[in-house]
Amino acid sequence: MNQELAKRKGLELIQRSKIAMIGSLDEKGYPNIKAMLNLQYEGMKIIWFSTNTSSKRVQQIRKEAKTSVYYVDQDRFSGLLLLGRMEVCTDEESRKALWFEGSERYYPQGINDPDYCVFRFVAEKGNYYEGLCNISFPIE
Amino acid sequence: MNQELAKRKGLELIQRSKIAMIGSLDEKGYPNIKAMLNLQYEGMKIIWFSTNTSSKRVQQIRKEAKTSVYYVDQDRFSGLLLLGRMEVCTDEESRKALWFEGSERYYPQGINDPDYCVFRFVAEKGNYYEGLCNISFPIE
């Protein structure tokens, strides 16, 4: 598997994933993991999530932007790990872009709910594996 | 949901999970995530995994024991995050305990393959969530 194939397969994995796992660092230095809905992405360079402003993860990411996003297919033994930086966005454009039918369940006050915010992840490098084969690549 | 119920549901999630996600810290301070087979555990206090001694994860964990183990049920929107410390074990007892039919695929030289080792995770605290409800608890 070369880098091009690994990137193509990684992107296919993103496309068929219902969730992604977010890795962040807590105040005591433990890597935390949380599944989030796979909502929107621009290739594998920029990935968007929506979340509660009051959540632990928002506090963690405001302190430490270095994060990861991970997709896994447990039946094929394949996975994609992206390392990069996460930004917490509260501007209207980001809110609108990520709002979907059903978001009211999480943010009852609607699109301007102060407890609604958006994560914008920018990937710097990736690793895709399938079975025993794994390959790393930069993400420009 | 009280702590007792959260712990019971968390344990049920471990029991029905095929994989667990391991969170570790790389040399540049990024939280890494990797899925591993859910093989063996003692409640949610001690959890065992097997891996390749040569893997990046072993190097990371030898440098920084603070890690996490995460289980997710994407259909029920439930998850269990355990924070604790991971130890890399290469002793015979640990190797034997984790060896299973099919391990040869990963460690062709068998149970004494130098590229075969075992992770022993000891949980310190946990968080279980289901839908919008989440609860944290110590793990004694």
Q: How far away is chain A from the Cα of B114, in angstroms, using its nearest Cα?
A: 17
What does the DSSP assignment read for B60-125? HHHH--EEEEEEEETTTTEEEEEEEEEEEE-SHHHHHHH--TTGGGT-TTGGG-TTEEEEEEEEEE
User: Which site among B16, B33, B34, B56 would you substitute to test the A interface, given the most A Cβ atoms closer than 10 Å to its Cβ?
Assistant: B33
**pLDDT tens readout for residues B8-65:** 999 999 999 999 999 999 999 999 999 999 999 999 999 999 999 999 999 999 999 9
- Say what the ipTM of the complex is: 0.95
Helix or strand (DSSP H, E) at B46:
strand B46-52
CA distances from A65 to A19, A58, A60, A88, A120 (A): 21, 10, 8, 9, 10
- Name every residue whose Cβ is closer than 8 Å to that of residue A118 and which is 6 or more positions away in sequence: A48, A49, A50, A51, A88, A89, A90, A94, A95, A97, A98
- The pLDDT-based confidence of A132 (bands split at 50, 70, 90) is confident
Q: Bridge-partner residues for B21, per DSSP?
A: B35, B70
Q: Inspect the interface and report whether the beta carbons of A23 and B29 lie closer than 8 Å.
A: no
Helix or strand (DSSP H, E) at B48:
strand B46-52
Q: Inspect the interface and report whether the beta carbons of A83 and B26 lie closer than 8 Å.
A: yes
- Name every residue whose Cβ is closer than 8 Å to that of residue B8 and which is 6 or more positions away in sequence: none
Q: Inspect the interface and report whether the beta carbons of A33 and B33 lie closer than 8 Å.
A: yes
**pLDDT tens readout for residues A9-46:** 999 999 999 999 999 999 999 999 999 999 999 999 99
Distance CA B59, CA B73 (A): 29
**HSE-CB of B22 using CA atoms within 13 angstroms:** 27
Q: Which two tokens stand for residue A138?
A: 């930069």
Nearest CB to A32; choose among B28, B68, B106: B68
Q: How far away is chain B from the Cα of A97, in angstroms, using its nearest Cα?
A: 23
The answer to whether residue B38 neighbours chain A at the CB level (below 8 Å) is: no
Give the pLDDT score at A106: 87
**pLDDT tens readout for residues A46-93:** 999 999 999 999 999 999 999 999 999 999 999 999 999 999 999 999
Q: Inspect the interface and report whether the beta carbons of A31 and B23 lie closer than 8 Å.
A: yes
